[in-house]
Amino acid sequence: FAKAKGIVIGISGGLDSTLALLMSVYMCDRFNLPRTMIHGITMPAMGTSNNSLERSINLMKKLEIDDHLFDVNEEVAHHLDLIGHDGITKDIAYENSQARYRTLALMNYANANNSLVIGTGDMSEIALGFATFNGDHMAMYNVNSGLPKTAVRNLTRHFIKYYPEVSVELEDVCNAMISPELVSSAQSSEDFLGKYEINDFILYELLANGSSKERLVYLITELFKLNEIDAETYYDRFLR
C-alpha cells in the first residue's frame, strides 16, 4: 500500500542500526530483492568516533547496499547558531540537534527516493524513554521495537554465520561500549541508565510477570549481586 521502492536506514556503526541493516539485507536475500534497494546513510557529527564511522562505511560497502555519507557538522552548527546556541555547551539541545537533523535528512531522502525510513530504536530504549523526541524515536517502520538491547546484541552476533564478510565489524559492534556518541565517543549510555542487562530483566519481570517492587528488588539483589539500595535505585530509575 505504501508503494515504496526502497528503504532508508541511518547507519551509525552501533548495535541497533547494525541489526536493522542486517535484517533488511536478510529480507532482500530471502525474497530475491536487490540489496541496492537499501539506502544506507551514515551521518558523522560532533561526537562521532572514527571507529564508528569506519564500521558503518565498511558494513554498507561489504554488504553491497546503496551507501551514502552525509557529513552534517556544518548543518547542525548552523542550526545551533540559528536558535542562539553557542555551539560549544554540550547540553541537551547540543545532543538532540544532531539526532533531529539526522532524522530530517533520512525522512527527506526517503521522500525523494520513494522509500520508507526503517527505525532502529530498541525496546529497552523505548521503555526507558531513552530516545530523542522527534528524532530517532520516529520512523515509518521499526524492526527493533520488540527487541530488548540484550537480544539486539545476541541477534547481531547470530548474524555472523549468515554474513561472514562482515564478521570483524559485527564482533566489533557487539563488543563496543554502547554510546549515542552525541558528546564524545566516551559517552556511555549505561553510565546514565545503568546496565542494560538489569534494565531488561526489570522490563521482562514487569511486563511478563507483573512483579511487585519488593519481588524485583529481591531478585535483583540475588541475581546481580547488588545491595538492596542499589537494587531499589534500578527499579525507581526504570519507572521514572
CA distance 130 to 123: 10
Residues 179-200 have pLDDT tens digits of 999 999 899 999 999 999 999 9
Look at residue 3 and tell me whether its pLDDT is greater than 90. no
Structure-block grid coordinates of residue 216: 524485583
Element (H, E) at 52: helix 50-62
Q: Which residues contact 31 (CB under 8 A, 6 or more apart)?
A: none
Q: What is the pTM of this model?
A: 0.95
Torsion of CA 147, 150, 151, 153, to 10 degrees: 120
What integer pLDDT is reported at residue 96 of this predicted model?
97
Model pLDDT for residues 219-228, shown as the tens digit of each residue: 999 999 999 9
